[in-house]
Amino acid sequence: MEPLFVLTIGQTPRNDIEKELRQVLGARPIEMHGALDGLSTEDINQFSPESAADTFHTHLANGADVIISKKAVTARLEKILATTGSRPVLVACTGKFSGLAKSHNVLFPSTILEGVVDAVAPANCTLGVLVPLVHQIEPLSQQWRRPDREVVVAAVKPGEDASQAAAALARAGVDLVVLDCFGYETALLSQVRKTTGVPVLSAVRCTAHVASELLG
């Protein structure tokens, strides 16, 4: 069985991501690498974001959260992708990678998730979106908005209590919720679904299903 190559924007291991992927992929081997693998804390501190638009949130091998430069991570991802050949590669991040060379074998969750939402969202709906960081609310609101779609975005980091964020989406009367972060786990999805009473789309699950189909 061909393994799925997974590339994170932080460091490995990422047992949380692998656990979520396995709910779709089952026993398929997963080969995971991190853009920051092998770097010290001092090295990573050099990757400070230049602006809010240049910001990624991820985890290090020691479990610490870190805010890093999207531009710096993109450069490191590009070097790794140059070595992967033609097999499918899943980039475990829902961020946009405008500076990353397009390749037919690279799966970007943001592209897949947007396609799924555009296909299944009701006309004239209100879309709820969860993101990790407060300063992502405005740019992600713009990214998900459509002429026939209102968007309500709330912030909660992976692993934190999503009660307030889920309640905010419920009060807004959303018709569908998107978990716009690859670090969100099943427990959060279940909580949001229970609180809002509407379907919830997981970036991890949607991308894993596409990867599974490609691998056969």
Domain locations in the chain?
Answer: 4-110+206-215, 111-201
- Across the beta sheet with 125-131, the strand order is 149-155, 125-131, 176-179, 200-202
H or E segment to which residue 137 belongs: helix 137-144
At 102 the pLDDT is: 66
Are the CB atoms for 189 and 173 separated by under 8 Å? no
Q: Is the pLDDT of residue 195 over 90?
A: yes
The class level of CATH for 111-201 reads alpha beta
Are the CB atoms for 38 and 80 separated by under 8 Å? no
Are the CB atoms for 204 and 153 separated by under 8 Å? no
d(CA 110, CA 97): 9
Mean pLDDT of the chain: 93
Chain segment 24-59, per-residue pLDDT in tens:
999 999 999 999 999 998 999 999 998 878 888 898
d(CA 138, CA 118): 20
SS3 92: strand
The DSSP 8-state label assigned to residue 104 in this structure reads: T
Q: Is the pLDDT of residue 209 over 80?
A: yes
**Confidence class for position 103, pLDDT limits 50, 70, 90:** low
Regarding beta strands 176-179 and 200-202, do their DSSP bridges make them parallel or antiparallel, or are they unpaired?
parallel
The DSSP 8-state label assigned to residue 121 in this structure reads: S
Q: At what angle do helices 15-25 and 203-215 cross, to 10 degrees?
A: 50
Are the CB atoms for 165 and 156 separated by under 8 Å? yes
Are the CB atoms for 104 and 81 separated by under 8 Å? no
